[in-house]
Structure 1
């Protein structure tokens, strides 16, 4: 049971508890179950056929239950006669280092490679005649999955979790009658080179899988079967348990990969790792392992709780598929807030996925987070850096999960040497003299061996730099800034200093691949360009429009890079002369431009809808980077640009190509930055209506976790903003959430924020920070300044 934390009084004198604390009540006697648990009345759909690359097949993840500890994970299908656990290990990758734009098809045939499934644990049970009362549940408040049902006179229950401290997947099977557990455990694999063996002895069974991919990656998996009572024997790679009272299963998976470029990605043998992991885990009683798991997971999850209103028990008690159907029907019929606890659950599930697929010391979450079902997953389940990996980490800091940010920072650092090499070998980045470009950037797709593929995303490293800086802003970790973030930010700036194009008066040296842009068009549209202004040459507004100079996406990202790096240098008081030069270059960048129709331009040329050069309803909103996640444009500081950006977003619409999971998440954040809670809320509802599967994973299609993780930032941005130098409480609160509370959100400046509101107005809040600082807070239409002292919470009632 979780520790219940009281965090402040309501004005009425009634105690207010966070949603997570309420979940500790358990069952339907408490309230937290409505926003932390969801269940199915049937097993997940299992298919023996595997989706192939580019098919957009989402069936494998549409209703399966995910668990993970940042390194190993499982999708649970929960069958009665046969259960399937699809096992994954985050470093199970084919391919290797490469720098080619082309990608061949087929597993292990392309140099880039792809994320690989580890294997499938199949558990066969006796025929379940007369099965009834089936329930498959995921409790995201405790990171516990379960399956229960009755057959004959026995009630069976299975419980699953992925332990962070013990680095194993734990599964327990039990019946409520003695000697009622019979099961056959078998491991299957899609890799023909794998060797699978089984042994039994001393009342235990073990399944061992060993293999090596074509790229030399060695891997090993061990499944320990530990029945209580009964008999256990090994047979042809399987383990058979008969007439046990219960059975405990521990899964340990490992490869010899290490996220360390200096070691050429090779770490200790998987056998050595599994030896150590299982030696420790087998000594831990099941009850203690579960308690350790709850404590370790709760350390992350319990930092934040959200209460947006109360859902009726009858609605909250529905199976998740029926609950989603009811929600969608109500929204279609115009009901404003049919199930606020479901919306809280979406926020909480997003945090669950973050915690489960991004833990310190591991690789960051990939396009599918931690989970996979195919040898050739869509887009190789890689690290896409033109929005996707960035979006996965937008909500991590606001949701008070700074440790979960570490894998991204480490990934950026370790990929830099390979990216530096590829960048310096690329002709288009070299100076006219043939001198290689300093610094580095990347192609759009990245793997775990420094390899790159698809088109160049020239601002990729500059966008990464924003994440490096944001981690400092949220933590105020000066040592991190000095030793990790600033050196990388400076090097990325040096790359862009070498690349920027000095424009002629009137843009006479403007270049584009768009054949429809004539000298007359250039003369008309770029007449305001002054000699000496700077433009990013021949960029792309991913994945939209022509390749040409000065597209808004590139200009805004480079502006953010220079601006943030100048601030970082000022914090550290270093490079005074250079930072002054950098600030001057920032100010010479061609800035945001407003077209004749009053919209923010995506390119320097004022293209019109229907011209054939652009799609006004495109899924990407690359030209609005300066609004979110950047900070160049805001209603308070740049109202004219903000209004033009708002019109541009409104013109994008929410139909057709715009109905993508990650698109909803980005637009939720954008509308929140425009201080429009109604539109931000519509984006959340749109994601649920059009892009959410019964598993609560979101689909592009296919399944991707960027929307699932990114929507966490959307919720946070609607409730708290801190990017303009002050805290803004409830900046984009929709009418549907007129009464509520939140505890533990994090603002820049390493400030923790608790608050409650009624009828859309803040009734009270509490601020705390380990750093002494003065902070401006805007709430209920007024601004006040507060002095924060370490260890002392400032409260306003």
Structure 2
């Protein structure tokens, strides 16, 4: 069997970040594959610390005008000092680890012929090894239809499987026996936990004034053929079985972002019992079949190959090492692309929470950055690949979160800014935290988070052309974010409408005295995000044919927003003045939002900004930028938009060589999943672009990608595209229209047998496929 869509290794994982990830959107697992002491680390996507609490800063509004006056009078340092003291609020809660399933085997002898693999075509981990000429096999997957983690253990000798199984958690918990073949772990999360980078032991509070944290329950059931089952002291013992199936279900008391899980929560024990009951009469083969059918309905939509080069018979860690030694491996690039799609399906499904900073996988009680939703780039990047990679359904958890945030964010907008509409700042959590964030204004004060995420509502519409979604879900939330921005804008001395205070996320400039400052008048990113939001709202109004008065308001506002500027280095200016940079090689590239993921900086429409974007990247990278996983992934997308194919390829290789763990997780450092999703989006952007009302085929492929094929990739306008190319020339092309309408296609590489280098136009009919001959 081919290993093309498999990650595989000749040894077990030595640490959590080398384990292999599984998920069904709601449940996550990391499988280590240890022969003697298997650790399967467990997660459930609603298991967070905290309870719904109003963390808004009610005194912030009393100081907003004072801060604005200081900034308008160019006293930036004094303004940020006041902001840090008076305009910041609290912190999000943390995504918590559910616990571990530990399997201790009665093996003593040394193992041979070991193999550990993750089959991303079927979403299944398999571990095989040989001890004393007995072949052992473990198979692990997480079923979405059955809401369960399934582990199958077999060998080729009867009655040769013996092990003990137990559950443990870092959280306050206890194990108890439910039946002769079922053990359970129940526990509760803290109602308060400071962020992961704070380590005071007394900051964890489990109960206060009768408030209770989130309850959780894990139930483990065993089925065996032959042998014996017993339970003692919370340990499930299996002796002399021929094969064993373990079934794990897990639930929390979470009942919505605005309900206290301790007093208004769901019955997590009943949910577990119901799920196990539904599995009672299903065989392992039936469970596996349903899982694969469900998973493949998403994963199987897209195929991608870069020719015949195939090093899939080499272990994945060795392939990465070969790449670091400059041995090309195009198969690893197509595997990485599909792995990004696999991770999105595994961590973001209909009805689940959105993928957080670590997707769904976390082993730490205090994860880095609370493993929350960081909405000044990271959360958005998680979903850049969703639509183009034909996973619209996986986008919906993020879009649903925006509906929640439009409620909590409306309170923040009114209390902290005296604005209508809704906003959110730097961080979001399960409870839909929307306030400013403690620590420093350079990251914590950023009320553009909601406006940016609204781009995803528009993108979901633009790729699907689902007008009911636009009318009933997207536009009302987009309008709410635009309403906040309109109220937040003030007039500067030149009559421009500007945001103030404004920051360029996490970056700083130097004031006239050489002091590090973050706050000023309207940053370039604010301009780009607001223009993007307002223009998308205008497009929605034109389609829906109502709310024309609001459209006029938006048009008038756009006319008064400052224009983009070019700085003294010939790059895109980051702030409203051409300040000196505190850190010229900063990881954020916020001032290039209009290039990507925005769509205003386009070569044929504004060539000066297009060239300035290249200068910006050259300078930022020459000073050390792009050193984190997600930042490097963003660079790939920038260069793809700039049609700089070899540079896009260069930074794709940097991402793989320097910023990737052996299980292909992205290194921030530490692990952060956004670089995986951003890398997949970047590869897609090299293959197809459709942001400029034209579908461009192979707009940014490097010379090394001379031959290949893509099937099932999507373009804006409701189109599904298949194509092949050889010697950098397209040889086969077909496009399927899902909703009808005019389709424009541009071949950046000429089409075989013709001299097509310009546009072709097709008036399409919904459901029909068009093939170019």
Length-normalised TM-score, structure 2: 0.88
Choose from 444, 469, 490 the match for 1:501.
Answer: 490
**Deviation, structure 1 residue 113:** 2.2
1:161 counterpart SS class = strand
The answer to whether residue 274 in structure 2 is matched with residue 276 in structure 1 is yes
Alignment coverage as a number of residue pairs: 695
Partner of 2:209 in structure 1?
none
Partners of 1:597 and 1:199 lie apart in 2 by 69
Choose from 124, 130, 140 the match for 1:150.
Answer: 130
Length-normalised TM-score, structure 1: 0.85
Choose from 285, 288, 310 the match for 1:287.
Answer: 285
Q: Deviations over 1:246-305 (max 9, x none)?
A: 100011000011345479895521112112211112221100111111100000001001
**Deviation, structure 1 residue 656:** 4.0
Q: Does the CA contact (< 8 Å) of 2:503 and 2:522 recur in 1?
A: no
Partners of 2:386 and 2:46 lie apart in 1 by 21
Q: Does the CA contact (< 8 Å) of 2:148 and 2:247 recur in 1?
A: yes
The answer to whether residue 561 in structure 2 is matched with residue 589 in structure 1 is yes
Partner of 2:47 in structure 1?
92
The answer to whether residue 332 in structure 2 is matched with residue 342 in structure 1 is yes
Partner of 2:234 in structure 1?
237
Choose from 390, 393, 398 the match for 1:408.
Answer: 398
Question: Greater shift after overlay, 238-247 or 216-225?
Answer: 216-225
Partner of 2:38 in structure 1?
83
1:440 counterpart SS class = coil
The answer to whether residue 521 in structure 2 is matched with residue 541 in structure 1 is no
Question: Greater shift after overlay, 303-312 or 73-82?
Answer: 303-312
**Deviation, structure 1 residue 199:** 4.9
Partners of 1:386 and 1:128 lie apart in 2 by 51
The answer to whether residue 8 in structure 2 is matched with residue 45 in structure 1 is no
Q: Deviations over 1:588-635 (max 9, x none)?
A: 21121112332110112123xxx4x33221111000000000111111
Partners of 1:252 and 1:167 lie apart in 2 by 7
Partner of 1:196 in structure 2?
175
Taking the TM superposition and a 5 Å limit, the aligned residue runs for 1:396-795 are: 396-426=386-416, 429=417, 436-452=418-434, 453-454=437-438, 455-505=444-494, 532-545=495-508, 546-607=518-579, 611=580, 613-653=581-621, 656-779=624-747, 780=750, 781-795=757-771
Partner of 2:210 in structure 1?
none
**Deviation, structure 1 residue 123:** 0.3
Partners of 2:371 and 2:243 lie apart in 1 by 37
Partner of 2:295 in structure 1?
297
Partner of 1:223 in structure 2?
220
Q: Does the CA contact (< 8 Å) of 1:665 and 1:711 recur in 2?
A: yes
2:569 counterpart SS class = coil
Question: Greater shift after overlay, 783-792 or 246-255?
Answer: 783-792
**Deviation, structure 1 residue 792:** 1.4
Partner of 2:208 in structure 1?
none
The answer to whether residue 383 in structure 2 is matched with residue 383 in structure 1 is no
Q: Does the CA contact (< 8 Å) of 2:525 and 2:593 recur in 1?
A: yes
Partners of 2:150 and 2:715 lie apart in 1 by 36
Partners of 1:501 and 1:772 lie apart in 2 by 43
Q: Does the CA contact (< 8 Å) of 2:56 and 2:415 recur in 1?
A: no
1:632 counterpart SS class = coil
Q: Deviations over 1:403-425 (max 9, x none)?
A: 00110011111122112112211
The answer to whether residue 175 in structure 2 is matched with residue 178 in structure 1 is no
2:393 counterpart SS class = helix
Q: Does the CA contact (< 8 Å) of 2:740 and 2:767 recur in 1?
A: no
* Structure 1 pair 98–694 and aligned structure 2 pair: CA distance change class (3 A): farther
Partner of 1:354 in structure 2?
344
**Deviation, structure 1 residue 442:** 1.5
The answer to whether residue 55 in structure 2 is matched with residue 65 in structure 1 is no
Partners of 1:576 and 1:451 lie apart in 2 by 32
**Deviation, structure 1 residue 66:** 0.5
Q: Deviations over 1:227-254 (max 9, x none)?
A: 1111100110001000100100011000
The answer to whether residue 343 in structure 2 is matched with residue 363 in structure 1 is no
Partners of 1:739 and 1:580 lie apart in 2 by 49
Q: Does the CA contact (< 8 Å) of 1:261 and 1:415 recur in 2?
A: no
**Deviation, structure 1 residue 95:** 1.7
2:445 counterpart SS class = strand
Which blocks of at least 5 consecutive residues in structure 2 are unaligned?
61-89, 192-212, 439-443, 509-517, 751-756
Question: Greater shift after overlay, 695-704 or 759-768?
Answer: 759-768
**Deviation, structure 1 residue 177:** 0.4
Partner of 2:318 in structure 1?
322
Which blocks of at least 5 consecutive residues in structure 1 are unaligned?
1-26, 47-59, 103-109, 430-435, 506-531
**Deviation, structure 1 residue 374:** 0.7
Partners of 1:264 and 1:234 lie apart in 2 by 31
1:182 counterpart SS class = strand
Partners of 1:269 and 1:383 lie apart in 2 by 27
Partners of 1:696 and 1:321 lie apart in 2 by 9
Q: Does the CA contact (< 8 Å) of 1:80 and 1:128 recur in 2?
A: no
Q: Does the CA contact (< 8 Å) of 2:159 and 2:240 recur in 1?
A: yes
**Deviation, structure 1 residue 754:** 0.4
**Deviation, structure 1 residue 451:** 2.5
Partner of 1:254 in structure 2?
251
Partner of 1:120 in structure 2?
100
* Structure 1 pair 373–682 and aligned structure 2 pair: CA distance change class (3 A): same
Question: Greater shift after overlay, 362-371 or 111-120?
Answer: 111-120
Q: Deviations over 1:726-748 (max 9, x none)?
A: 11111111111111110001111
Q: Does the CA contact (< 8 Å) of 1:423 and 1:437 recur in 2?
A: yes
2:679 counterpart SS class = helix
Q: Does the CA contact (< 8 Å) of 1:259 and 1:414 recur in 2?
A: no
Partners of 2:529 and 2:108 lie apart in 1 by 58
Q: Does the CA contact (< 8 Å) of 1:261 and 1:417 recur in 2?
A: no
Partners of 1:769 and 1:382 lie apart in 2 by 37
Partners of 1:342 and 1:655 lie apart in 2 by 29
Partners of 1:175 and 1:39 lie apart in 2 by 20
**Deviation, structure 1 residue 206:** 0.8
Q: Does the CA contact (< 8 Å) of 1:186 and 1:237 recur in 2?
A: yes
1:737 counterpart SS class = coil
**Deviation, structure 1 residue 82:** 0.7
Question: Greater shift after overlay, 131-140 or 576-585?
Answer: 576-585
1:194 counterpart SS class = strand
Q: CA RMSD in A?
A: 1.7
2:704 counterpart SS class = helix
Partners of 1:112 and 1:789 lie apart in 2 by 48
